[in-house]
Structure 1
């Protein structure tokens, strides 16, 4: 049995994985959605990016999980990528879902597509927190009106310290066995850092014709991708 530890991106808690988790459990696997410190029901807990790495590692160790597939979405690809190298032989595979990836010495802010100054200014203007998206921000991502309303209602401000703190890697990320899921409505190609990793023999790309939140817009398709990744990890 594979154990899937699933971590949402900014603003969102474990709840967002509910549909995918049910499908994985129905297939006979362990499904462990995780809420990071500082968001959702853990809102108010002080959290840097290293805190989030520990959240993930502690979940694996506390539950004594093996044959683990770590799943990181959006921002959480950064702490998930670091946690993957820390759990050692417990890891089967990593799945990055339309996500950022950790770059040693760099942060989420430093890699922001509009420039680090733009995101840093947003955080400064909101008491060090990243405000959640509005319904307008979620348009064009393959979501129904009901799905958009669900995401807006469930999102909470994200702790800015986790976005500004740099990642720390002890070995090349390309050494990890990984699947990268590119959600095409969010842009047809991944960032340069991801594109370079996809040239490694241990990384594989899968495309989904949906937007940035496939666990909401296409849970059945995403569950199939995760099950296939688990099979590769065992293979």
Structure 2
């Protein structure tokens, strides 16, 4: 039995995993979905990048979890990857779900495809937060209208400091047992940073034929994949 700690990406809270939890629990694992500071029911709580890392480490320590599988989706891969290096022998595996990964000294903003300045301008235009997508932003991601509506209704603005502050790695990511899940409708290949890490003997790549939010578009399939990776 593993303790599976699930952290969703930008704008989301623990509720994003609601349809994945039954499959994990039916397989005999304990599942702990986590809402990061400043999001969902924790909206308004001040948060920077290291706040989110401590949210994860603190949850594991508070619950005295062992055999931990850390699951990070999208943005959450950045704090999850840092937390994985700080929990010692509690860690069994990291699973990145179509996620960003932390780069020591880098941030989500510094890796933005249009450049850091463009991203920070977006934050400035929204009072320091990252504004959620509207419904059109989910086109081509394998989601039904109902699933898109659920996402849009549940989203909260994402605290900008968590996206602009640098990551601090306690251990090299390539040393950690890791699965990277690439969602093919969001692009056929992992980014260059992930591709380099996949050369490590400790990393493996699996794919899903769906979009960037598989916990909504294919929750049962994602649960089965996680169970297989836990072993």
Question: Scaled by the length of structure 1, what TM-score is found?
Answer: 0.97
Deviation at 1:170, TM superposition (A): 2.6
Deviation at 1:167, TM superposition (A): 0.2
> What residue number does 1:152 align with?
152
Does residue 140 of the first structure (1) align with residue 174 of the second (2)? no
In the alignment, the residues of structure 2 paired with residue 31 and residue 170 of structure 1 have an alpha-carbon distance, to the nearest angstrom, of: 25
Deviation at 1:171, TM superposition (A): 2.4
Deviation string 1:133-183 (CA, Å, 9 cap, x unpaired) is 100001110000000000000000000000000000132110010000000
Does residue 106 of the first structure (1) align with residue 101 of the second (2)? no
Does residue 45 of the first structure (1) align with residue 40 of the second (2)? no
Does residue 25 of the first structure (1) align with residue 25 of the second (2)? yes
RMSD: 0.6
> What residue number does 2:118 align with?
118
> What residue number does 2:12 align with?
12
What's the secondary structure of 1:80's corresponding residue?
helix
> What residue number does 1:97 align with?
97
In the alignment, the residues of structure 2 paired with residue 171 and residue 136 of structure 1 have an alpha-carbon distance, to the nearest angstrom, of: 39
Q: What aligned pairs does 1:72-221 form with structure 2 within 5 A after superposition?
A: 72-221=72-221
What's the secondary structure of 2:111's corresponding residue?
coil
Give every structure 1 segment of 4 or more consecutive aligned residues whose post-TM-superposition deviation is greater than 6 Å: none
What's the secondary structure of 1:189's corresponding residue?
coil
Q: Please list every run of 5 or more consecutive structure 1 residues that lacks an aligned counterpart in the other structure.
A: none
Deviation at 1:50, TM superposition (A): 0.2
In the alignment, the residues of structure 2 paired with residue 9 and residue 46 of structure 1 have an alpha-carbon distance, to the nearest angstrom, of: 17
In the alignment, the residues of structure 1 paired with residue 114 and residue 184 of structure 2 have an alpha-carbon distance, to the nearest angstrom, of: 19
Deviation at 1:224, TM superposition (A): 1.3
Question: How many pairs were matched up?
Answer: 231
Deviation at 1:86, TM superposition (A): 0.5
In the alignment, the residues of structure 1 paired with residue 164 and residue 22 of structure 2 have an alpha-carbon distance, to the nearest angstrom, of: 33
In the alignment, the residues of structure 1 paired with residue 103 and residue 128 of structure 2 have an alpha-carbon distance, to the nearest angstrom, of: 22
Deviation at 1:229, TM superposition (A): 1.4
In the alignment, the residues of structure 1 paired with residue 27 and residue 130 of structure 2 have an alpha-carbon distance, to the nearest angstrom, of: 36
In the alignment, the residues of structure 2 paired with residue 38 and residue 111 of structure 1 have an alpha-carbon distance, to the nearest angstrom, of: 22
Question: Scaled by the length of structure 2, what TM-score is found?
Answer: 0.99
Deviation at 1:43, TM superposition (A): 0.3
